[in-house]
Structure 1
């Protein structure tokens, strides 16, 4: 089927669509789970379930700390009193006992220690995940791993550049006419290059495409077409069309 459809393809975009449809058909036939939603949207930003649960605990603990501080400072609104009563439910602490202020302070300190412990747990989990991903990347694509290690961390917390100043800066570089003082070196270079034979036109053959695809990692993140290199290796009939 691919031979018939690929011969009728008119451009690279249509060829990619045909190959993607063939890959999707194969996955459906063998029963593999695929997700066509979000093609070419980049890496998934889903938060792991463990980290999400811990972050929810931290958020609830911080909210409870705020209620405890409000009650300790004398805020006796029914909503706050109800929250404090639920927090001390099942304990021998009563809101009417004389040392309730000390109990509130101890409860706040205990919650702060729990938040600190949960934060350390998240950091340990993140470091472990980073090490695991780096080890996997070392096995699959060492070049990409070394590039990620050498790339400096870019912080996006600074102020955004002003649009007017940015436009003025680049217009000053590209829009203003510049008169260069040309010397005699142009004539020298032209005379030296007069005897150079022009390079023959490059003709890309199916063997060139097959060799390039063979060197590419199977499951590297795809581009806009959403097609992994694995399928380009498997669909050998597409090499001639891609070369064309």
Structure 2
């Protein structure tokens, strides 16, 4: 066990991040726990002699690699690129495959309705009406073809709406989760490049004059009689002392806020 540990630590020492193997998640069985407990005391000597954080990280990586080799976990082959999962979810791929097959079937049914009687077209049309009592030689076959094509078009529209509905729900879910973890990144993703930062900024004097015209002009509000009743009822209430906000209060309030 010690020889495997030393070999793994020698292999991972000063290894660049891009060349490090992706270790699998091992199950927490009794045997695996026993291996980890046996290796932990061996790491004390190496960790005490560690000179910096990078060396400590390589020691821990070597120990994890040694555990995987001892328990026989499957490791990625060196030099082989890690297979990345597709960005398109499986449910969307399945629905898009159905839409593609339905569109291909609509094309062949339309071609048959236009008079194309090639063997491949005929075979597809027979498969489209398999399990029904519809024969290609009956007189109202054109009407049956039209009904079948309309049915496929309605299915395609329903599948497209399902994709849009699921995508919208997934987008809302990801935005809510991103709002809880990184609000700055969320707001940056919501910016529209064609609007934000396009063209010169507004003139400072015009901006000040606009807002000063809104807030500095006196306005006569229509006050109803009920406001006088409420004021008389609350006349005995002691007004709150003015709140003095100091720079220390602001620093304490934003201390745990995200760094924007």
Taking structure 2 as the reference length, the TM-score comes to: 0.46
Q: Higher Cα Rg: structure 1 or 2?
A: 2
Structure with the larger RCO, 1 or 2 (CA within 8 Å, 6+ apart)? 1
